[in-house]
Amino acid sequence: MKKLTRDDLFPLEKYSELRAGFRNKVMAHKHDRQVAIGPNATLYFEDRLTMQYQVQEMLRIERIFEAEGISDELAVYNPMIPDGSNWKATFMVEFPDEDERREALKRLKGVENRVWVRVAGFESVRSHADEDMEREDEEKTSAVHFLRFELTLDMVKAIKQGSAVAMGVDHPAYMHQVDPIPTSARDSLAADLSD
């Protein structure tokens, strides 16, 4: 999947005009790109469109219009665009109550390394977590992690041909899976992969 360049972005004034419609388009697109794994964890799969939205929003919020600042934002978010042989996702540990979340993040230390995807007929693929920076300390994990799932060519081919995909977490304090994920999610994620 092609990385974003400055030419792919709207100038701030133009984005302000288009923002509501663009946001609606992205939110509809994201709907099929999220997979809840149990009651307290969700994978939000990223792609070129979701990252374009993220960059546009950061430029808008920070009022960045200079070339260097735009390049910096692209450098931060482009790595989250899939490369054709993988899926990239934001993994969120979600507990609405702050105290409950704090305690859960202590119990869930290492959970980011226990997330997996499995294409029917193949072995599970474990996540590569937080390649940009460490998000866990000695006491707890973070509520947000960035994951990459690297797939083999045979897995990619099977997904493109409609094979079912399962996803899960096998941490001792959080054991949940979705088998299979919804067809709409599988089809959306298949579009991230190169033939």
- In whole angstroms, what is the distance from residue 39 CA to residue 94 CA? 8
Phi then psi for 157, rounded to 5 degrees?
-60, -45
For the stretch 87-105, pLDDT in tens is 999 999 999 999 999 999 9
Q: Would the pLDDT of 118 be above 90? A: yes
Where is 188: in which H helix or E strand?
Answer: helix 183-190
Neighbour count for residue 54 (Cβ, 10 Å): 18
**Closest C-alpha to 58, from 69, 44, 45:** 69
Reduced DSSP (H G I as helix, E B as strand, rest coil) percent helix, strand, coil of the chain, to 5: 40, 25, 35
For the chain, percent of residues with pLDDT exceeding 90: 92
- pTM for the full predicted model: 0.91
- In whole angstroms, what is the distance from residue 127 CA to residue 22 CA? 31
Bridge-based pairing state of the strands 41-45 and 128-129:
unpaired
Q: Would the pLDDT of 23 be above 70? A: yes
3 state DSSP class of 54: helix
Mean pLDDT across the chain: 94
**Closest C-alpha to 174, from 113, 85, 118:** 113
- In whole angstroms, what is the distance from residue 48 CA to residue 138 CA? 34
pLDDT on residue 134: 66
- In whole angstroms, what is the distance from residue 54 CA to residue 57 CA? 5
For the stretch 148-177, pLDDT in tens is 999 999 999 999 999 999 999 999 999 999
